[in-house]
Structure formats: structure tokens, C-alpha cells
């Protein structure tokens, strides 16, 4: 910096002393340098415009099939993967009422309950502004239009639409209307069906028992509504349980769901889509994700194909339901090695914590703290294996239980009952083989609770008696056929209903498959006469 300072100081001194000629000489030199630089720069720019006549154009090469084979699998499986979109119509948000068939306002129903019962009733909720919609995936397993998906994809939907891969994706048309063939809540599997004039493409089902940790897999579906999306990953674990605790009767939830775990990206909308191995076979159904952000975090769960096949074969049967065997025992899901050693089953077994009253095990003589170590001579390691073996047994058959009791080995013959019926009876307080309790038959059969009519109501409606619907359980038979809160029931199947006891007595005599017709009066339209609401009991 010092030479520059001296140069500047000298220049300033010359200016002060009047040596202007020297200054002009210096400035002229600097200007010439700048001009020369500009000319040189211009010359360089001009030289960049070169002759490119000898350049060869690039050519797009022929497509090459890569060795991983992912694309071939996608082309094979893709046509059978479908988009499922559902529509749920707005319903009352309070107590399940729908305002009656004439669509009277909510306040009118509220006034009705206040007037006749002196307490707030239903009908106080607000209607949604429009139908709610949801998206999911599925895959075709039968060319006649049978599709597998998750139950939670179609649960509660009023309309189910299916779009094929060949359908226009940007069309406002929601797709082909589908019907539910059957569903199984325990495994979250549903079968739906669409109509087609020609055979539809199908997937190939694989055997999930052959899957190994580390195997490559592809997850396909419609995440976030993005059609025909494919992600790749590996099987990161097998036989994975998602702990959902137990219900009010300490019956384990999700005990029939043992998942394949994968790090293939699974996101909302992938539910119901297939998980495919490198042979192009479906070895799972994308069902759940572990996430703290509502998106993929590398841990997804798929139901194994062997579980899916077993459930599907029952759902397409005449009864459209899954029947699982049960002996009626409850046990602790996990026990420590110390417990196993203390009670004498270090090599495997199941210690019984409770025996369902009136169930098959109770009738066979099974007691709490008995250790079940074998079924029909086959050793069992844990509760999962016991459930797997017993649930596949047909109700009405008999098995032999190998039991350790107080250190001694004994054998007991034990019957098999329908698990759903056994635990449903447990929930209602009935015995395993007894009928529904007469006092709550209306709730069990129809999904409604009723109260007796008052003399003032009878006078207003010009009836001799009846029952008024106090509540309708959402999703029940009564809800499905349009029986509404506040309706006064005077007859069922042409039999007079004058009180609650008579209502339950008639309900108790009905069974699945029976036609049921209610004769009802609408208290908010006293002069409207009788209405007839009916359906077939599921």
C-alpha cells in the first residue's frame, strides 16, 4: 500500500504545482489501455463463432432391459392393481339420528324428546356439508371382478368405486361401482366385486411361508391418489405383531395379524395394494405403517399372502364370513423364562390365565394355571401357535389337549366352537350355547334401544301402545334400513308391539336371514299414518 500512497501523493503534488501536462499524459495512457482491452475482448468473442459442421448429432439408443427385472414385474402386475375411492354420505354427529324420513329439523326431534321424556334426546348434531371421500388400493384376484383390499379402506362407505389401470385417470368419472362380498375385521381384509363384460387381468398369488428377511419386494398402489406408483425395498422382518392391547373382556386385538415388515415406501393410499416378490407373485397386502409424520418412515407392514388366501376362500363362500375355532381360554401373550421354569414348561407351552365360563375348555375340565403343551400330539411353543392351530379347526370338531397340571401330564378332549359366537356371548353375559338375553334382544339383533311410549304420545298418535326408538347404533341393521331415532314402533312382522318386553320377545325369536318389517309412526307427523321399514337380518 505504501508505493501506491506515494504515487497518489506525487500526483496530487504535481496537480497542486500546476504540472497539468504530466497529468493529461498519464490519463491519456490509461484511456488507451482501456480501449485496447475492449478491442482485444471483442476479438476473442468473434473467434468463439466456430464452424461446427463436423459435429456429430447424438442418437437415442435402443432400450435396454436391466438385470434387476423390476420393470418386467411392474408390467406384469400393474394391470391388476386398482384404485379404490369411497364416498360416505353425511350423517348426524349425535346419537345416530337422521331426522326421520320426512327430514324434519334437528330441533324438532330435540323438542319431541324433551316433551315426552323430560330429558335431552338425540338429533342435536349438525350435518356435514357434503359427502366425505377416501382413497385406497386393491388388486384383482379373479377375472370375474373379485378384488382384495383392506377392510379399513371400505369400512363405513356408502358407495365404493373402482378404477382400473386401463380407465382414464383424469376423468371426473369416479369409476365402476363395487359391492362388498364379505369382510373380516380381525385381519382387516375385505373382498369387493365389480361387473365387467370381459375377463379382467389378475395377479399371481404366492406362498408367504417362503419369504426370507432380506428378499427384494415391490409395493404397488395409489399413495395420495397417485396412480400406479411403485416403490422397492426388502423384507426387514417376519411374523411382526402390532400391539393393540385388549378389549373390555381382555380378548387380544390383532391376534390374527402377523405381518411382513418392509422398508419399501408405503404411504396413505397404499392400503390394500399388493406387496410383490421378484417372481412377480403377491406375497402380502400393504396394510399399515409405523410413522410419526403421517408419511413413510421406512417401516411398513403387509399381511402375508397365506393369511389372505385363507380368509378370501371363506369370504367368497355361501355365508360370506370367516369362522374361526376357539376353545375358550385366555392367556398372557408373553411370559418370561423365569415363569416358564417355575411352572415347568421351559421348552414351550401356554399357561392358561382364565377359562371362559360355559366354553369348550371349561366343559373339558381345563383350569387356570394349566399349561397347554400340545394339540393333537403336536407340541406348541407359544400362544400364537396355539391360536393358529385352533382357529383353523372347524366348529363341532374335537381336539386332544396335552396339559401339565401341578407337574403332571394329562390329556383332555376338548370341543371347538365358533370364536365369534363364543366371545359375543361372553360380551352379552350369555352362555356359549344359550340364546340372546330377552332383555336386550333388540339391541343385539337390530342395534336399537327403545323406551315405552307415554299415554300422551299414544293419544297424539292414536295408538294403543308401542315403543319409541331412543338410539340407533351407527352401522347396525336398524341404521342400514333407515330406522330412525324417535320412530314409534307399533308392529314387527305383523305382530303388535305394545311395550318393551313384547318388542324384545319378538326380536329374540328372529335369526340371521329372516326378513324383518317394522310398522312405525312419526311423532312429528301425527297424521301421516303408518310407515313400513324393512330388511333382511345379516
- DSSP-H helix ranges across 62-177: 70-77, 106-117, 151-154
End-to-end CA, the chain: 98
Distance CA 252, CA 243 (A): 9
Question: Which is catalytic among the residues 227, 271, 305, 326?
Answer: 271
Measured on CA atoms in the order 425, 427, 430, 432, is the torsion positive or negative? positive
* Cβ-contact 148, 272 below 8 angstroms: yes
Active-site residue flag, 320: no
Q: How far is CA 84 from CA 135, 230, 268, 449, in A?
A: 6, 16, 13, 35
Q: What 3-state DSSP class applies to 4?
A: helix
Beta-carbon contacts of residue 167 (< 8 Å; ≥ 6 apart):
173, 175
CB atoms within 10 A of CB 512: 10
Q: Is-catalytic flag, 142?
A: no
Q: Closest Cα to residue 162, out of 132, 131, 136?
A: 136
Distance of alpha carbon 331 from the chain centroid: 27
Q: Which of 184, 186, 188, 277 is catalytic?
A: 188
Q: Check the CA dihedral 350-356-360-364 and report its sign.
A: positive
- Pairing outcome for strands 329-331 and 281-289: unpaired
Q: Which of 183, 182, 180, 177 is nearest to 196 (CA)?
A: 177
CA-based angle 495:499:505, to the nearest 5? 55
For residue 460, the number of C-alpha atoms closer than 13 Å in the C-beta half-sphere is: 16
Give the integer Cα–Cα distance in Å for 143 and 113: 53
Please report the beta strands in 129-228, taking only residues with DSSP state E, as ranges in sequence order. Answer: 132-142, 146-150, 159-163, 176-184, 189-193, 204-205, 216-221
What count of other Cβ atoms lies within 10 Å of the Cβ of residue 112? 22
Q: Is 271 a catalytic residue?
A: yes
Which of 203, 171, 176, 183 shows the shortest CA–CA distance to 84?
Answer: 176
36: left (phi over 0), alpha (psi -120 to 50) or beta: alpha
- Out of 106, 111, 115, 152, pick the active-site residue: 152
d(CA 180, CA 320): 10
Give kind and range of the element (H or E) at residue 330. strand 329-331
> What is the chain's Cα-based Rg?
37
Q: Are strands 371-375 and 350-355 parallel, antiparallel or unpaired?
A: antiparallel
| Burial status of residue 123 (CB atoms within 10 A of its CB: 0-12, 13-18, 19 or more) | buried
Integer Cα distance of 278 and 212 in angstroms:
12
Distance in angstroms (rounded) separating the CA atoms of residues 45 and 403: 96
Grid cell in block for residue 361: 375348555
Q: What are the residue numbers of the active site?
A: 152, 188, 271
Amino acid at each position: 500500500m505504501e508505493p501506491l500512497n506515494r504515487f497518489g501523493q506525487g500526483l496530487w503534488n504535481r496537480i497542486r504545482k500546476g504540472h497539468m501536462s504530466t497529468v493529461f499524459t498519464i490519463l491519456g495512457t490509461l484511456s488507451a489501455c482501456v480501449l485496447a482491452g475492449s478491442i482485444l475482448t471483442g476479438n476473442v468473442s468473434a473467434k468463439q463463432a466456430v464452424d461446427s459442421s463436423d459435429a456429430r448429432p447424438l442418437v437415442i439408443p435402443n432400450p435396454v432391459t436391466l438385470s434387476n427385472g423390476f420393470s418386467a414385474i411392474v408390467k406384469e402386475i400393474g394391470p391388476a392393481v386398482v384404485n379404490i375411492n369411497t364416498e360416505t354420505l353425511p350423517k348426524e354427529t349425535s346419537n345416530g339420528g337422521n331426522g326421520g324420513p320426512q327430514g324434519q329439523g334437528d330441533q324438532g326431534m330435540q323438542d319431541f324428546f324433551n316433551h315426552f321424556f323430560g330429558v335431552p334426546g338425540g338429533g342435536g348434531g349438525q350435518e356435514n356439508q357434503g359427502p366425505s371421500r377416501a382413497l385406497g388400493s386393491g388388486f384383482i384376484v379373479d377375472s370375474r371382478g373379485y378384488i382384495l383390499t383392506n377392510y379399513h379402506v371400505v369400512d363405513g362407505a356408502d358407495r365404493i368405486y373402482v378404477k382400473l389401470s386401463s380407465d382414464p385417470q383424469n376423468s371426473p368419472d369416479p369409476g365402476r361401482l363395487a359391492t362388498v362380498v364379505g369382510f373380516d375385521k380381525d385381519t382387516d381384509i375385505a373382498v369387493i366385486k365389480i361387473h365387467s363384460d370381459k375377463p379382467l387381468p389378475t395377479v399371481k398369488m404366492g406362498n408367504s411361508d417362503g419369504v426370507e428377511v432380506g428378499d427384494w419386494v415391490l409395493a404397488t398402489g395409489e399413495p395420495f391418489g397417485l396412480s400406479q406408483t411403485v416403490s422397492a425395498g426388502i423384507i426387514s422382518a417376519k411374523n411382526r405383531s402390532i400391539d393393540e392391547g385388549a378389549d373390555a373382556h381382555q380378548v387380544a386385538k390383532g391376534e390374527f395379524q402377523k405381518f411382513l415388515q418392509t422398508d419399501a415406501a408405503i404411504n396413505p393410499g397404499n392400503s390394500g395394494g399388493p406387496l410383490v416378490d421378484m417372481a412377480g407373485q403377491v406375497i402380502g397386502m400393504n396394510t399399515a405403517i409405523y410413522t410419526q409424520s403421517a408419511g413413510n418412515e421406512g417401516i411398513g407392514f403387509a399381511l402375508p399372502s397365506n393369511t389372505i388366501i385363507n380368509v378370501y376362500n371363506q369370504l367368497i363362500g355361501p355365508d360370506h364370513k370367516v369362522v374361526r375355532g376357539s376353545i375358550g381360554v385366555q392367556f398372557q401373550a408373553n411370559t418370561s423364562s423365569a415363569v416358564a421354569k417355575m411352572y415347568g414348561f421351559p421348552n414351550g407351552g401356554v399357561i392358561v390365565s382364565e377359562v371362559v365360563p360355559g366354553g369348550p375348555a371349561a366343559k373339558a375340565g381345563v383350569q387356570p394355571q394349566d399349561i397347554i403343551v400340545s394339540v393333537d400330539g403336536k407340541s406348541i411353543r407359544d400362544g400364537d401357535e396355539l391360536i393358529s392351530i385352533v382357529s383353523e379347526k372347524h366348529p363341532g370338531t374335537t381336539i386332544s389337549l396335552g396339559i401339565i397340571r401341578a407337574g403332571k401330564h394329562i390329556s383332555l378332549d376338548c370341543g371347538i366352537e365358533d370364536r365369534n359366537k363364543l366371545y359375543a356371548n361372553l360380551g352379552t353375559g350369555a352362555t356359549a350355547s344359550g340364546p340372546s338375553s330377552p332383555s336386550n334382544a333388540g339391541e343385539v339383533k337390530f342395534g336399537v334401544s327403545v323406551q315405552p311410549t307415554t299415554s300422551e304420545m299414544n293419544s297424539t298418535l292414536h295408538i294403543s301402545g308401542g315403543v319409541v326408538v331412543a338410539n340407533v347404533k351407527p352401522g347396525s341393521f336398524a341404521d342400514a334400513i333407515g330406522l330412525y331415532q324417535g320412530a314409534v314402533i307399533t308392529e314387527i312382522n305383523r305382530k303388535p308391539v305394545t311395550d318393551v318386553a313384547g318388542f324384545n320377545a319378538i326380536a329374540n325369536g328372529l335369526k340371521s336371514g329372516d326378513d324383518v318389517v317394522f310398522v312405525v309412526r312419526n311423532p312429528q307427523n301425527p297424521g301421516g299414518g303408518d310407515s313400513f321399514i324393512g330388511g333382511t337380518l345379516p
